[in-house]
Amino acid sequence: MPEPQQPAQIPWDVLGRPPKELKRLAREGCWGWSHAGRARLYPRLIQQVSCRLVTPDALVYRDVAARLFGKPSVSSHPLPEFLEGCPVPTYCLSPRGVTALKKILICVGALFPDITHSPLLPALAALLLHYSEDEAQCFESVSRLIASNAPHAAYIDQSFLAHQASCMTFGDLASKHCPAAHKLIAGAAENVLEVYSEWLSWLFPGLPFGYAVRVLDVFLLEGQKVLYRIALALLRQFRLSVAPAGLQGSDIKAELQAFARNIAEHVTVDKLLERAFGIRLFSRKEIWLLQMANRKALVERGITVVQRRPSFHLAVDMQNFSSSIVTAQEMRLVWSWIPERFSLFPPLLLFSTSEDGCSLQRFYTCCEGYEPTVLLIKTTEGEVCGAFLSSDWSERKKSGATSGFFGTGECFVFTVRPEAERYEWVLIKKPELAKAVPRSRQRSPSPAPESPLGSSGDSPSPSPKHLAVPSPQRRARLSPFLAIRHFLLPSKTASMFMAGSRDGIVIGKGGSRSVKGIAIGKGDRYRD
């Protein structure tokens, strides 16, 4: 791979620059097309990664490789079991380089026996091998990324549980930051999570080499959050490239893979990175908390750390779905909107006016003890709307006779007919707005319907008879959308999403015209 005619000028003291400036230089491509510059920088960048005290290095690799292989040929040695079914891209490596890559992966399997599933590792090793002095240095770099213990900045998932949790986290982020693309995919795919389970392959080995190493430039500095950003930018760009007719009848996974391979036809790498870093994501800590919440749900569903393949279907089987309000296709879209960790569990019908009548008290009785719930409403005019409700309706009793507000920031309202649309808490989309809330308003002693802020509170244990989502200890639940501390908001004014009394219910309703909500009171005409 020849150097460009005008190689990038890398400052001699680049590693001594402040972290923010170093990130800016990487994002802007300071060493973007200089292969020699990368070869000098990558090992030094990786040496700065905080990792476990005892981590195999180049000397350990040489010793283990000599014992394992003896001769240069490794054709008789199988790849580690944790790579079964994972792509092993070579990225233009010579035959000698491919042999070195195989040796590195085999030694990783021997020295890191706890790894059970890691689809990202082969691609990273192949890319780093291009910029390493030899295979021993490449192995040391890979080992440091595997053994990283930097808080909330993981580099490589090392089990199916961790990988699947990251896939679910990407699904949550795609649902929130790429609503148009998410809606398109939900309409074309039987299982949205299955599509998002391929998100890493869009980047590695999906992207061309020149794009992949630009991603690696920033990945080595910022960790997994960078991969979420790039994949979200790809998803947005994919939506723009889709014909107006949509994706009916097409293989959505194959379409996304083909789009990534041919990304140069749609957007330059500089523009792709610019758009990726223009997305207002939560902090690394908040994304980590969401991953832990998804991981906990997978454990509740039976997934273990040592598991190598999924043993269950991760989405609701819509083939047997039946409703008088929405079609299976419409329900699939609604189900794709709710947080991934809840969509693992099949829905349970709690209340229907056709079977339980129109008593509001009966509605409360049927729904108490379940969390979360989805409310679907069909009007006498045939319009369909609803809400995702993150908290137990029994929490309304804490306010006594008054209509107190409760709920969390994950609540949202939506319409299905005549137009399918979702309306979320504004701070989910723009978390920076929380800092703009005046302190005088934040200390308001009592909640009012006009203040759409949110938090979580403790509620009674779910019904032992039915359990929509296993949650025996609500205090241990983790999510960036459930804790007010992530938005710098006080608890007294932070539960303003849903309210219920004997006269009616209110969900997400506010005084501003821009605030969407649902309000139902006595005398309202609605069905189911």
d(CA 438, CA 411): 23
What CA–CA distance (Å, rounded) separates 154 from 222? 9
Distance CA 310, CA 160 (A): 8
What pLDDT does 470 receive? 36
Cα–Cα distances in Å, from 315 out to 148, 329, 338, 375, 505?
A: 33, 13, 12, 19, 30
Segment 388-398 mean pLDDT? 83
Between 440 and 104, the higher pLDDT residue: 104
Whole-number pLDDT of residue 75 = 64
More confident call, 469 vs 274: 274
pLDDT on residue 18? 82
Find out whether 196 and 227 touch, Cβ atoms under 8 Å. no
Q: Residue 512: its pLDDT value, please?
A: 43
* The predicted structure's pLDDT at residue 266: 94
pLDDT at residue 57, as a whole number: 92
Neighbours of 329 (CB within 10 A): 11
Least confident of 134-143, 212-221, 310-319, 395-404: 310-319
> CA 200, 281, 224 angle in degrees (round to 5)?
35
In the predicted structure, residue 515 carries a pLDDT above the cut 50? no
Task: Give residue 171's pLDDT.
Answer: 92
Residue 4 DSSP symbol: P
Structure-token pair, residue 250: 């097409």
The predicted-structure confidence for 120-153, as pLDDT tens digits, reads as follows 999 999 999 999 999 999 999 999 999 998 877 7
Q: What is the mean pLDDT of residues 224-253?
A: 85
Task: Report strand pairing: 421-424 vs 518-521.
Answer: unpaired
What backbone torsions phi and psi does residue 185 show, to the nearest 5 degrees? -70, -40
Q: What is residue 200's predicted lDDT score, i.e. its pLDDT?
A: 94
Mean pLDDT of 223-249: 85
Residue 169 is predicted with a pLDDT of 92
pLDDT at 261 over 80: yes
Which has more pLDDT, 496 or 179? 179
| pLDDT (tens digit per residue) in 452-461 | 323 333 333 3
The mean of the pLDDT values for the chain is 78
Q: How far apart are CA 346 and CA 468, in angstroms?
A: 8
Query: According to the model, what pLDDT value does residue 361 have?
Result: 87
Residue carrying structure tokens 């040391």: 140
Per-residue pLDDT of 308-340, as tens digits, reads 665 545 455 666 777 888 888 888 888 888 888
Q: Tens digits of per-residue pLDDT, 466-487?
A: 333 334 344 344 344 444 344 4
Lowest mean pLDDT among 176-180, 348-352, 461-465: 461-465
- pLDDT band of 35, cuts 50, 70, 90: confident
Encode burial over 212-244: b for 16+ CB neighbours within 10 A, e otherwise.
Answer: bbbbbbbbbbbbbbbbbbbbbbbbbbbbeebee
Three-state secondary structure string covering 311-343: CCCCCCCHHHCCCCCCCHHHHHHHHHHCCHHHH
Nearest to 333 by CA among 324, 341, 343, 344: 343
pLDDT of residue 71: 63
Mean pLDDT value across residues 224-230? 94
Angle at 118 between CA 114 and CA 120, to 5 degrees: 145
pLDDT category at 431 given cuts 50, 70, 90 is: low
Q: What is the mean pLDDT of residues 112-119?
A: 92
Instruction: State pLDDT tens for residues 280-303.
Output: 887 788 888 888 888 888 888 878
Query: In the prediction, which pLDDT does 6 show?
Result: 55
What share of the chain in percent tops pLDDT 70? Answer: 74
Using alpha carbons only, give the angle 387, 324, 413 rounded to the nearest 5 degrees.
Answer: 10
* pLDDT tens, residue by residue, 81-93: 889 888 899 998 9
